[in-house]
């Protein structure tokens, strides 16, 4: 019967956490997982008794996740809570086995709880039913211990063998507590949150509130949390705390379980065939949670949001948690999910998302392409290593750290230097935080505004400030005095740096540049004549300045040198990045203008180093796309694209 239930099903009640892709996993994952568990058991050298208990437990442990329509209808009529699959599976086992084994029933009923305790989802006392088997003399202490060790090795290794190897000692320690009835423990909110967020650092001022601590302590003491990390790992701690406070208002003496499975299922989609957090849903939820006042939440008052609400349903002794979106928000999310494959549609979809929810464009502009962009930024790091040679002092700030590669280089090259990175993009900070924890980096991360560095750092706190390919983004994205592409933004950024820089400190700039002289022309010959359509669209879409060209023939155009290069920067990145790159102006000053800007706006600085050059990769990427000539049709090289400027404060 257990095999019938696992195979005759259309249900997809599996944990998304360890899936690489959602769409590609159409086959019966639950059945495959159980067979993998049983295969691991076959390789274990165990007694017949251990083998019997473990194999029977594994066979029935996940049946409630499956079953055909008639089976599931019958189980629901019996009152089985299918959302808590271990308990429901034990009930199905009893239903289908008149001469059932009580030890097997309890093992199914508590199946997976050792791992869930280690993850912080349950209290250790949830395993007390196991110790009662010893008290009732249904199984010996030594035999139960051996059974639990083998059972947990099978179920955890079948998910990921590396995970089991990493937590094996903790598994054995937990089992030892269970069989010795040492399961009473004091609930510590911070420790519980640390377990629930194994890949995060726990830091929140909300936890200083006594009422918040009191509410969370009671919640953690009373209920088991299912699929918590799988559903909420991409939310920060403050957001999680607020959500837990909302839920706590629905918990009473009857409630023993909370499942976040519905949230898990709605928070992921496939992007480039990879399982990825649904950024559109996540950003909307962040906005909703940000609006909630902590005092109101403690008092049970939840401010209503017109576009999204937390939906809590009671099924027996279980609460299911989900987010309900308004019709407008749901349709807009769906539009964004479909439109990302089309540049023109994607721009419109994301723009409407900004308008509806008031997102700052410089915080969320790239959405999914952020990860691809960060990888690209990291791959170009070889040309940026020269910046390390100009670092002075013991504290370095990387403004707009991208994928973190430059911070890594500084950390490895100058181990005694304190490295910090600041970025306003939540996407960047989230990705870097994951990287910091997984790779054990020491650098400090700050989510903040590059135009107001003195809000995050003290006067004279930083010895070296690096702007590597970031000032052109500040110039392009941030409205200053009413409009973007304002050179005053560059001035504001540099003055912001000056406010926290120590005497003798340095500002290092690596960014796009306009070439000199500006009044020269270049002729572009397209290999594919239809690509002139891309140039036509670029001239209409680019907002940095007016860009025009003169047509020479069907595949040749004449342009001012800096207009030609500005187009080629975007053309190089290709179609997938067009909708993003067309918003940025890479070259905004000539070398001469840059130095004059410093002299006019920062007092007491001297130029240590300046160099303009063509960044590696442009010529290679454009080789099969264009040829470039001067006005007399002589083949010429691409002009300089990039400028390094190092200035020192006296």
Backbone dihedral angles phi then psi of residue 189, each to the nearest 5 degrees: -60, -45
CB-CB contact of 324 with 308 (8 Å) = yes
Residue 496 counted as domain residue: yes
- pLDDT for residue 626: 95
Residue 20 in this model has a pLDDT that exceeds 80: no
Backbone dihedral angles phi then psi of residue 458, each to the nearest 5 degrees: -80, 160
Burial of residue 175 (number of CB atoms within 10 Å: 0-12, 13-18, 19+): buried
The average pLDDT across 140-146 equals 97
Give the pLDDT band (50/70/90) at residue 432.
Answer: confident
Residues 139 and 208 in one domain: no
Give the pLDDT band (50/70/90) at residue 5.
Answer: very high
Q: How far apart are CA 380 and CA 621, in angstroms?
A: 13
Residue 557 counted as domain residue: no
CB-CB contact of 22 with 72 (8 Å) = no
Domain termination residue (choose one: 469, 491, 512)? 512
Residues 262 and 320 in one domain: yes
Q: At what angle do helices 85-96 and 69-77 cross, to 10 degrees?
A: 90
Q: How far apart are CA 366 and CA 272, in angstroms?
A: 15
**329 vs 19: which has the higher pLDDT:** 329
Residue 271 counted as domain residue: yes
Hey, how many other C-beta atoms are within 10 angstroms of the C-beta on 131? 19
Residue 335 in this model has a pLDDT that exceeds 80: no
Give the pLDDT band (50/70/90) at residue 514.
Answer: very high
- Within 242-307, strands assigned E span 257-259, 268-271, 274-277
- pLDDT for residue 576: 65
Residue 342 in this model has a pLDDT that exceeds 60: no
DSSP letter (8 states) at residue 412: H
Residue 550 counted as domain residue: no
Q: How far apart are CA 314 and CA 324, in angstroms?
A: 16
Percent of the chain with pLDDT over 70: 91
Q: Is 181 left (phi over 0), alpha (psi -120 to 50) or beta?
A: left
The average pLDDT across 406-434 equals 89
Residue 625 counted as domain residue: no
Residue 198 counted as domain residue: yes
- pLDDT for residue 234: 84
- Containing H/E element for 524? strand 521-526
Residue 371 in this model has a pLDDT that exceeds 50: no
**334 vs 200: which has the higher pLDDT:** 334
Mean pLDDT computed over every residue of the chain: 88
Domain termination residue (choose one: 512, 528, 544)? 512
- pLDDT for residue 24: 63
Hey, how many other C-beta atoms are within 10 angstroms of the C-beta on 294? 16
DSSP letter (8 states) at residue 626: E
- pLDDT for residue 145: 97
Residues 299 and 388 in one domain: no
Q: What radius of gyration, in Å, describes the C-alpha atoms of the chain?
A: 30
3-state secondary structure of 322: strand
The average pLDDT across 85-109 equals 95
- pLDDT for residue 275: 79
- pLDDT for residue 355: 61
- pLDDT for residue 474: 92
CB-CB contact of 278 with 266 (8 Å) = yes
Residue 442 in this model has a pLDDT that exceeds 80: yes
Give the pLDDT band (50/70/90) at residue 177.
Answer: very high
3-state secondary structure of 646: strand
Residue carrying structure tokens 């907002």: 543
Residues 74 and 196 in one domain: no
Residues 255 and 272 in one domain: yes
Residues 399 and 466 in one domain: yes
Rounded to 10 degrees, the C-alpha dihedral 193/195/197/199 comes to 140
Domain that holds residue 413: 371-512
Percent of the chain with pLDDT over 90: 62
Number of domains in the chain: 3
Q: How far apart are CA 615 and CA 643, in angstroms?
A: 9
- Indicate if the alpha-carbon torsion angle 245, 246, 250, 255 is positive or negative: negative
pLDDT tens-digit map of 285-327: 888 888 888 988 988 888 888 888 899 998 888 999 999 998 8
Residue 360 in this model has a pLDDT that exceeds 50: no
Domain termination residue (choose one: 512, 531, 564)? 512
- pLDDT for residue 184: 87
Residues 210 and 321 in one domain: yes
Backbone dihedral angles phi then psi of residue 606, each to the nearest 5 degrees: -125, 150
- pLDDT for residue 233: 85
CB-CB contact of 145 with 152 (8 Å) = no
Q: How far apart are CA 534 and CA 132, in angstroms?
A: 73
Residues 169 and 202 in one domain: no
Residue 91 counted as domain residue: yes
Give the pLDDT band (50/70/90) at residue 130.
Answer: very high
Alpha-helical (H) ranges within 136-278 are: 141-157, 161-179, 189-196, 210-222, 228-232, 237-248, 261-266
Lowest mean pLDDT among 178-192, 299-313, 369-383, 420-434: 369-383
Residues 27 and 176 in one domain: yes
Q: In this structure, what token pair is assigned to residue 33?
A: 């997982």
Residues 398 and 478 in one domain: yes
The average pLDDT across 618-645 equals 93
**460 vs 344: which has the higher pLDDT:** 460
- pLDDT for residue 131: 96
- pLDDT for residue 522: 97
CATH number, domain with residue 481: 3.40.50.150
- pLDDT for residue 358: 58
Residues 7 and 151 in one domain: yes
CA 104 remoteness from chain centre: 40
- pLDDT for residue 394: 96
Residue carrying structure tokens 């799988």: 230
- pLDDT for residue 127: 93
Residues 427 and 384 in one domain: yes
**380 vs 302: which has the higher pLDDT:** 302
Lowest mean pLDDT among 13-17, 487-491, 512-516: 13-17
CB-CB contact of 89 with 104 (8 Å) = no
Lowest mean pLDDT among 33-47, 187-201, 343-357, 483-497: 343-357
Residue 311 counted as domain residue: yes
pTM over the 0.85 mark: no
pLDDT tens-digit map of 51-94: 999 999 999 999 999 999 999 999 999 999 888 899 999 999 99
């Amino acid at each position: 019967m257990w095999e019938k239930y696992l195979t005759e099903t259309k249900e997809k009640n599996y944990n998304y956490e360890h899936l690489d892709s959602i769409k590609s996993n159409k086959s019966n994952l639950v059945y495959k997982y159980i067979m993998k568990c049983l295969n691991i058991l076959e390789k274990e050298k165990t007694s017949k008794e251990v083998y019997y208990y473990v194999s029977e437990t594994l066979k029935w442990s996940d049946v409630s996740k499956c079953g055909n329509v008639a089976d599931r209808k019958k189980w629901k009529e019996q009152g089985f809570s299918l959302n808590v699959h271990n308990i429901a599976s034990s009930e199905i086992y009893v239903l289908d086995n008149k001469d059932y084994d009580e030890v097997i029933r309890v093992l199914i009923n508590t199946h997976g709880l050792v791992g869930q305790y280690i993850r912080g989802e349950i209290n250790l006392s949830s395993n007390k039913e196991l110790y009662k088997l010893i008290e009732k003399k249904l199984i010996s202490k030594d035999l139960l211990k051996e059974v639990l060790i083998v059972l947990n090795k099978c179920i955890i290794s079948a998910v990921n063998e590396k995970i089991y190897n990493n937590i094996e000692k903790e598994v054995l320690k937990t089992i030892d507590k269970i069989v010795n009835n040492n399961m009473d423990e004091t609930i510590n909110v911070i420790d519980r949150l640390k377990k629930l967020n194994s890949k995060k650092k726990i830091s929140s001022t909300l936890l200083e509130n006594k009422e918040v601590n009191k509410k969370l302590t009671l919640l953690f003491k009373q209920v088991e949390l299912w699929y918590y990390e799988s559903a909420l790992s991409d939310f920060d701690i403050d957001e999680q705390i607020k959500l837990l406070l909302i839920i706590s208002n629905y918990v009473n003496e009857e409630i023993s379980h909370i499942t976040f499975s519905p949230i898990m299922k709605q928070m992921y989609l496939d992007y480039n065939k990879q399982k990825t957090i649904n950024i559109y849903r996540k950003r909307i939820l962040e906005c909703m949670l940000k609006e909630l006042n902590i005092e109101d939440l403690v008092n049970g008052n939840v401010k209503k949001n017109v576009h999204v609400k937390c939906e809590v349903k009671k099924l027996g002794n279980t609460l299911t948690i989900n987010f309900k979106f308004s019709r407008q928000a749901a349709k807009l999310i769906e539009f964004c999910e479909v439109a990302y494959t089309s540049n023109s549609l994607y721009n419109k979809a994301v723009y409407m998302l900004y308008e509806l929810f008031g997102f700052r464009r410089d915080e969320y502009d790239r959405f999914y392409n952020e990860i691809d962009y960060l990888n690209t930024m990291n791959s170009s790091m070889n040309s940026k290593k020269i910046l390390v040679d100009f670092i002075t002092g013991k504290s370095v700030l990387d403004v707009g750290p991208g994928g973190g590669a430059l911070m890594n280089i500084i950390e490895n090259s100058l181990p005694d230097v304190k490295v910090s990175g600041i970025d306003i993009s939540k996407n960047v900070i989230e990705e870097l935080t994951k990287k910091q924890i997984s790779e054990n980096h020491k650098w400090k991360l700050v989510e903040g505004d590059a135009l107001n560095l003195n809000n995050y750092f003290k006067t004279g706190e930083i010895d070296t400030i690096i702007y590597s390919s970031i000032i052109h983004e500040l110039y392009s994205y941030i409205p200053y005095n009413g409009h973007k592409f304002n050179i005053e933004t560059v001035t504001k950024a540099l003055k912001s740096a000056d406010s926290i820089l120590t005497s003798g400190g340095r500002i290092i700039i690596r960014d796009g540049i306009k070439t000199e002289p500006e009044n020269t022309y270049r002729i572009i010959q397209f290999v594919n004549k239809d690509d002139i359509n891309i140039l036509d669209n670029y001239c209409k879409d680019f907002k940095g300045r007016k860009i025009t060209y003169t047509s020479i023939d069907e595949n040749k155009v004449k342009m001012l040198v800096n207009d030609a290069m500005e187009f080629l920067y975007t053309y190089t990145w290709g179609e997938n990045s067009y909708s993003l790159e067309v918003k940025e102006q890479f070259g905004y000053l000539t070398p001469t203008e840059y130095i004059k800007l410093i002299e006019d706006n920062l007092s007491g600085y001297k130029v240590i180093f300046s160099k303009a050059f063509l960044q590696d990769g442009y010529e290679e990427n454009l080789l099969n796309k264009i040829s470039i000539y001067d006005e007399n049709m002589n083949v010429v090289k691409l002009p300089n694209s990039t400028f390094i400027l190092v200035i020192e404060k006296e």
